[in-house]
Structure 1
Amino acid sequence: MIETFRFAPSPNGHLHLGHALSALLNLDMARAVNGRVLLRIEDIDTVRCTPDLVSAMLEDLDWIGFDADPPHRRQSEHFADYADALRRLDAMGLIYKAFLTRTEIRHVVAQREAAGRPWPRDPDGAPIYPGDASLLSEKDVAARLAQEEPYALRLDMARALQMAGTLLDWQETGAGPAGESGRVTADASAWGDVILARKDTPTSYHLSVVVDDARQGISHVVRGHDLFHATSVHRLLQHLLDLPAPIYHHHRLITGPDGRKLSKSAGDTGLRDLRDAGWTPADIRARIGL
């Protein structure tokens, strides 16, 4: 079997040095084993991921020498795949409509913590979702549905873990934030009832990434270690949906002068700005340590 890697950027802003590291590391690792490297365009957000940004992204990748193998996969063309996965999970009784807004969640958390009861956080630091069943009656839920209020489709984590009924892990050839490697135990419970889709958005990152990796035959997932802990959720979904588990390799992040990882939303210097300033692809490789 040909080993297959992928680079999967979201074109909601211009690519920066962090993207260059991930793209070129995938390329180098694939070529080292005579494997393939695929490009996935994660454009679920069809409002922010504009055609102009997609074109700019492809231009930047071509400039740095990211020579992906065909075909490219655009998530916006495969919503039916994600809907099918949702239907399968729903048939297992693992999905529920969650109506609590961010404001309501903050209010619940503030009340509990004011009473001296710390509220659990997920690995990204966000409060664990409290669950509608403990806060909203069936009448409340029915009223919100009747008013066509927005909702998220969340995974019933406790029930999903009970149904999985086995200890899940993954093969890590890179390193997590604390240096984790080898066989790593998955702890999806740390995330609580994660979002799998919304009323107006047909899928989430967690759901689409496992479906896409399986559809594209990805054998090696190479990505930044900011996504290391999310792998626990991905392993659970792979198990529930009977999808293959790739080998994972989480790499270091490129950080700015203040120590935080680079971000498109923070306006960090893009590859095209560096190109305009006279940088070459060789300069990019040198800067990111490749």
Structure 2
Amino acid sequence: MPKKPKGWYKEIVLRPVVHVDGYESYEKICSYVADVYFSRDEEKIKTGMLRNPKESTYITIYTLFKVGQSKCPTYWVSADLLSALMQSNLDVDIENLQWAMKTGLFMLPKGVIISPENRSVDTIFWHYDTDNDLIYWAATDDDAVFCRRFQVFKNLGKYTHVDVKDMNNQTITEFNEYMQSIFLRLILIMQCRPELVDAAEKQDKVTVNQGFGKAQAQDFYQPLWIGQEYRLKREGTVSSDGNKQGGTKSPHWRRGFIRNQPYGEGRQKRKLVWIEPILVMGGE
């Protein structure tokens, strides 16, 4: 692979971001993108996919290439929000998805999603090819990469999608289905709970002095979050004497779900509403 151009990191990102504790290094994640973007030709990648449509390597490379081409627009996902989404029954209908971002990456908190190799999955990259109605995503646990692409079809006014599966191994297939559900839930939550999504134009700049002189000072930006202030909902409390209040069952989840709720004049319009999961603390 050719040597990366000087200043490659600034070339492939919209804004360099300060490190966030509990998450993989943003610069490290961008280096994965840079390795692909600066060493591959888009047309050759497309040709490779045409010849080997089920080859996961081409799906991954193309996804990362398009992320680099878009300069790595990124959101950090809070641990509480990700946990809440994992505890929700969200049947994502492609027909109802409104893509606030066609290309980007989600930075995931360490230790929340664990791969079949028992490693933390730290990032999801994605690209929506609207010209061909193909959605690509790839996720990494810093060693292995999991990926999938799927085609969106419109049939009699109803959108459906067909997966182009990349591997036959049952464990990998099941994990890919799980990761795809997480990815689509994050896209969905950006649509139905926009108040949880930081506005890009409000991204604050900070100056970090990496040495003893002004020459070492560099400008970075605070991360953009999905659900930074979100907290898991809990039901039931612990009294001052240490006894649990709120029921006799053991702690359990009351799972969340999506409701297509009517609103407006005559309640003729519909909007997606996320009914959040609740951790019921239970009693003795």
TM bucket (normalised to shorter chain) is under 0.3
Largest Rg, 1 or 2: 2
Structure number having the greater strand percentage: 2
Q: 1 or 2 for the larger relative contact order (CA 8 Å, sep ≥6)?
A: 1
More helix by share: 1
TM-score by length of 2: 0.22
